[in-house]
Every structure is written in structure tokens, then in C-alpha cells.
Structure 1
Amino acid sequence: MPAVRAAALLTGLLLGLLGAGSAAAQPIANPVATFAGLDKITGRITRFDVYIDETVLFGALEITPRACYNRPQTDTLQRTSAFLEVDQRSLTGTSQRIFTGWMFADAPALHAIDHAVYDVWLVECKTSTDVPPPDQR
């Protein structure tokens, strides 16, 4: 019954992450998500800021964060989380969704993007960035 135990453990973990049954502080929404991306071919790590609902291209990946939340440092839950959509762009210009879900800065492997060439993980959520908003570019 390892699969049943694993499912129960995952359910408990997710309930803990969502704050079910705890007096956790409400998450704070932020307009900017900071990601780090690894190109496994070159070994280069790139850090980049993305506004919520903006789509950026990292290699062949189109990354669109839909929400980015912080919790206070005293909170024992996952303190930084983002909901994002990731599409892979082909050479013909078409895109295929390869990831939709939550990503946690404190546990990047919990919900990782499974790609042969690129790794992307959430670093932080911020209120501002040096990158101008999409409507000002």
C-alpha cells in the first residue's frame, strides 16, 4: 500500500501548504514574480522578473505567471508561491502546454517543470522591479 500512503502524505502536505486547519496569515499578492532558469545545454542560469499575466520567453518556454503570493517570514507554510502556465514553443511557432500549477520557492522540486533542456523555478515575489511594465515598452 505505498501508493495509498504516498497519496495520504501528499494530501496532508497540500492541506498544510494551503493553510487548512491553521491560523496562518493571509497571503499577500504581488505584481512581479522572479524566476531562475537553467539552460542544461550551456549550464547558464538566468534570473528574470515577470509581471503577473505577462508572458516571457525563456529558451523555447513561454512562461506566464497568473498569481504570486508571499506570507510573513514567521509563517511555517510555504512562504512564497506562484501559479503559472508554461508552454513549449516549437520551431513551427506552435505552442503546447507542458505545465499548469503552483510552484513554491521553498520547495522548487515539489512542482517542477519537467523539460529535457530547461529548468525553471520560482525565486521570489516582489512589489516592484527595474523592468518596465509591458504597457510601457
Structure 2
Amino acid sequence: MDHNRYEDGYIADILKSTRTIALLGASPNPARPSYGVMSFLLRKGYDVFPVNPGQAGKEILGRTVYARLADVPQPVDMVDVFRAPEFLAAVMDEAIALPTRPKVIWSQLDIRDDAAAAKAEAEGIKVVMDRCPAIEYPRLIG
């Protein structure tokens, strides 16, 4: 897939069909983008599981934080990645190794690794990179 541009329908379908999200790189700091996006997604009715090894066992926005994707207590539809681009390949590998793989791996603004994306897509996982669901949702869904 060409990750330079996404069809609006592709993004809208992902946002409409997703119910559960693992937010990787979640922060308890309200000034951090991951906090704001997590808050937005919760307000829109998504079931969000924050993932951050440094915060594991604590809570962010009333939700228990998990150390890694494999620790999330149920399968998720989407992994939303707030990690530097050099970690994206490892995130893809971790998601591929899950017993029930996510349908989508979404990396936030300025986070892109085309080789990692190709690997996930070869395993049947949709990929969105360098986009934010908190920007795309209002634009496409309202």
C-alpha cells in the first residue's frame, strides 16, 4: 500500500469498525499528545487500553496501564502507536506475535517505517502511518 496518501473511505472504515484500542506509549501527563488522544478516543466510545511499561499497574484516565501489548486482557482491534519511528518495527513484530492479532496498527504523526508496515500488511494487518485518529475522526465522521 502507498502510505503517502490514504483514501478517506479507508480511514473512515477503520475508525467506524474499531471498538477496542491498545494505546502504546500512553502518558499520564495531560500535556502529552497521547493523553489528549486517549481522552478523545474514550469520549468517542472506544474501549482504550493504555500500554506503557513505565506506568504498568497504574491508571491513566481511569484505565489500568499494561506493560506490553501481550498483557492487555483481551484482543484489540487497533494498536495506536505513540513511539519513535525506530521502534515501529518492534511494535509490528509484537503485534504479529499476539495470539489474536489487531486488525489495524496506526502510528501517530511523524511516525513512519514503510518496511515495518509492509511486514504487518503481509500478515493481513492494515496499517495507517503519520496520522492521528483525533484529527481524522472529526474530519471524516463528525
**Shorter chain as normaliser: what TM range?**
under 0.3
The structure whose residues are more often strand, as a share, is 1
**TM-score under structure 1 normalisation?**
0.26
Larger Rg over CA atoms: 1
**TM-score under structure 2 normalisation?**
0.25
